[in-house]
Amino acid sequence: MKIGFFGVFTLIFSGVCASGLGCAVERTEYHYRSQSMADAMGRPVDETYVKPDGTKVIYSAKQPQLQKDTDEHVASPTPQTDLTETDLRAKKANGDVVLQATFPEQVVDHMLECVRNEEYDLIWNQLLSTQAKKDLEPRGGIKYFKTFFQVNRKEVMATLNCMKINFKNGHVMMHKNDDTHLSAQLDSTLRTSYRFALIDFESTPTGMKLVSIR
């Protein structure tokens, strides 16, 4: 018996100096953002900012195209063009894993990896909103939470994979519920094929959090 749960792509471009000395290295993350996603989050479609570690983050409705020598701050005349997923998952020296998420698609990426690895404690501790934890306490708290994912793992994985793929092509509809809460829903062409079709998020001072999947 199934249990109901309280009912982007990213690319890195690195410029590397061939000579080895005095090299400037730039890391740039490219994220897709549709107009509907921007409206739901109250952000512009095209946005650029720099993270504390110096990584430039670019959000755009256009697919990123890597070009040679497009940034005057990149010292290398032969930039490395290998593409890898942005690492928003860090491991401390003591072995603790830290998940960082600023946008809904990053929460989905983290959830996909955590559910695949059955890291349900990590989702509870770092991705689930404080209010969601309080709402789940009468049902058994983390025990109920872990049981939900264990029972519905296949269906949850299917939904997360579908959202990850379709964030960038308009088949995931973003809705702004209030100043801090967003919902991502598979559109009518997809939702009937999935047990879960909507994920709720909360924007908090410590990052974007999961509220529910239903």
Residue 158 sits in a domain whose CATH number is 3.10.450
Does residue 147 sit in the same domain as residue 98?
yes
Q: Is the pTM of this model over 0.75?
A: no
- H or E segment at 184? strand 181-186
Shared domain check, 113 and 77? no
Q: Are residues 55 and 106 in the same domain?
A: no
pLDDT, tens digit, 9 for 90 and up, residues 56-85:
777 776 654 433 333 433 333 333 333 334
Q: Give residue 119's Cα distance to chain centre.
A: 16
Same domain? For 48 and 136 the reply is: no
Task: Report which DSSP code applies to 193.
Answer: G
Residues 38 and 63 in one domain: yes
Same domain, 106 and 41: no
Q: Are 107 and 153 in the same domain?
A: yes
Q: Treating both helix axes as pointing N-terminal to C-terminal, what angle do 142-166 and 104-116 enclose, rounded to 10 degrees?
A: 120
Nearest 5°: the CA angle 179, 182, 187 is 145
Q: What percent of the chain has pLDDT over 70?
A: 67
Which of the pair, 81 or 186, is modelled with greater confidence?
Answer: 186
Number of domains in the chain: 2
Task: Enumerate residues 6+ apart whose C-beta is below 8 A from 64.
Answer: 11, 13, 30, 58
Report the chain's C-alpha Rg in angstroms. 19
Owning domain of residue 168: 89-213
207 backbone dihedrals φ, ψ, rounded to 5°: 125, 180
Across 150-158, average pLDDT = 96
Please report whether residue 103 resides in a domain.
Answer: yes
Distance CA 96, CA 112 (A): 19
Question: What's the pLDDT score for residue 203?
Answer: 93
pLDDT digits (tens, 9 = 90+) for 83-133: 334 468 888 888 888 999 989 999 999 999 999 999 999 999 999 999 999
Is the domain of 79 the same as that of 128? no
Q: Where is the domain boundary, 40, 57, 87?
A: 87
Pairwise CA distance, residues 133 & 142, whole Å: 8
